[in-house]
Amino acid sequence: MSSTANEDSYSYFEHDADVGVIGRGDTLERAFEAAARATFAIMTDIATVRQAESVPVEFEETDPELALVRWLNSLLGSAREHGMVFGHFRIERDGGHWRGSASGEKWRPELERGVEVKGATLTALSVRQLAGGWDARCVVDV
């Protein structure tokens, strides 16, 4: 569950009962993708997830912070709807319109079982542009 070296990084911050996820990237979109990897890495080793199927994600949201919550929750909802686990994410935005995709596979016995993420919350929610890029974070309920 450590940050990946070959992609924009993700990491975690402390929360008593749940888990804080952090996504960082050169752009807001890449930070969102890294936050998605952080979220799904709580559930399994995402490096072992095959890109067998891709699922589209689309929503409208003008507030970047609420967009992060919408993005993560759309992915969590879609994964559960399809009985899948995702490991790879893409998202782009056009103003308040966000369009992306997640790819992964159905759960199979060989995949590591971590802990289910129920949803992304508004707790410790922030999306900021820092000197080195973008930082997107919030607490997810597990």
Partner 1 sequence: MDLDRLKQIEPWCWTVPRAPGEARGDVRLYGSRELLATMDDKVLEQITNVARLPGLVGAAMTMPDAHWGYGFPIGGVAAFDPDQGGIISAGGVGFDISCGIRCLRTNLDVAELAPHLRMLADRLFRDIPAGVGEEGELKLAPVELDAVLEGGAQWAVEQGYGEAGDLDFVEERGRVAGAVPENVSPLAKKRQRGEMGTLGSGNHYLEVQVVDRIYDEAAALAYGLRPGQIVVSIHCGSRGLGHQIGTDYLVSLAKAASRLGIRLPDRELACAPINTPEGQQYIGAMNAGINCALANRQILAHLTRKTFAREFPHAKLTTLFDVSHNTCKTERHAVDGSKRLLYVHRKGATRAFGPGHPDLPERYRDVGQPVIIGGSMGTGSYVLCGTSESEQRAFSSASHGAGRAMSRHQALRQWQGRQLINELAGQGILIRTRSMRGAAEEAPGAYKDVDLVAEATEKAGLARRVAFLRPKACVKG
Residues that bind partner 1 (CB under 8 A): 1, 12, 14-19, 43-44, 66, 69-70, 73, 76-77, 80-81, 83, 85, 107, 111-116, 118-123, 125, 139, 141-142
Q: How many residues belong to the chain?
A: 142
- Shortest distance, CB of residue 26 to partner 1, whole angstroms? 26
Q: Which is nearer to partner 1, 1 or 133 (CB)?
A: 1
**34, 91 contact by CB (below 8 A):** no
Q: Which is nearer to partner 1, 26 or 126 (CB)?
A: 126
- Shortest distance, CB of residue 95 to partner 1, whole angstroms? 18
The tokens of 70 are what?
Answer: 């919408």
- Shortest distance, CB of residue 116 to partner 1, whole angstroms? 4
Q: Which is nearer to partner 1, 2 or 132 (CB)?
A: 2
Q: Which is nearer to partner 1, 80 or 97 (CB)?
A: 80
